[in-house]
Amino acid sequence: MRYRNNATLLLIGALAVAVTVGCGGDQDKKAADKDGVAAEHAEHPHEGPHGGLLVEIGKEEYHVEVCHSDKTHAVTVYVLDSTAKKAVPIAEKQITINLLADGKPAQFDLPAKPMDREPAGQSSRFELVDETLTENHDAEGVKARVRLSIGGTEYTGAIEHHEDGEHKH
């Protein structure tokens, strides 16, 4: 009988440790990079380096940051790496934002606006000045998606606003 009680206590203790150490702990998480080498993986950022909304592209292979100005009616999209910190210039002349509002689709092509020191024919920044896009891409009930190609692979990401700070995957 004593053996069963000890085994039960050990099992309960192991489960408590597993729950405590599992998701949401304060410990740094490790992730493997493409070469299989362990790399630090911090909590997911919710805001990009330009103060805009981050959108996951692929399985966190890339991110795009969506910024807009109500004053100038510009929507700017930055292509970023998996950490959402470094610019990733791509060889596309434009990227697309698709909106669905009240059952009506709309498509907006954002032309490349290369930044200083980016390779010729590549850009990590895309921008369009359009009042309709500025007012509707983040409106309640509107579904918005960004579509782009990186290295010949097509990617699409949902532009979702999280008023409560929640981050979905």
Within a domain: residue 165? no
Q: How far is CA 127 from the centre of its chain?
A: 18
Within a domain: residue 164? no
Write out pLDDT tens, residues 73-124. 999 999 999 999 999 999 999 999 999 988 899 999 999 999 999 999 999 9
Write out pLDDT tens, residues 8-21. 333 333 323 232 23
Within a domain: residue 40? no
In 3D space, the residue among 71, 81, 66, 85 whose CA is nearest the CA of residue 157 turns out to be 66
Secondary structure letter of residue 82 according to DSSP: T
Domain match, 12 and 61 both: no
Domain span at residue 18 reads 2-32
Close Cβ partners of 35 (under 8 Å, ≥ 6 residues apart): none
* Lowest-pLDDT range of 25-29, 32-36, 93-97: 25-29
Domain match, 17 and 61 both: no
Domain match, 27 and 50 both: no
Within a domain: residue 168? no
Domain match, 80 and 143 both: yes
Domain match, 49 and 106 both: yes
pTM of full prediction above 0.95: no
Within a domain: residue 61? yes
Domain match, 16 and 95 both: no
Domain match, 85 and 133 both: yes
In 3D space, the residue among 116, 112, 68 whose CA is nearest the CA of residue 94 turns out to be 112
Domain match, 25 and 65 both: no
Calpha distance 30→131 (Å, rounded): 43
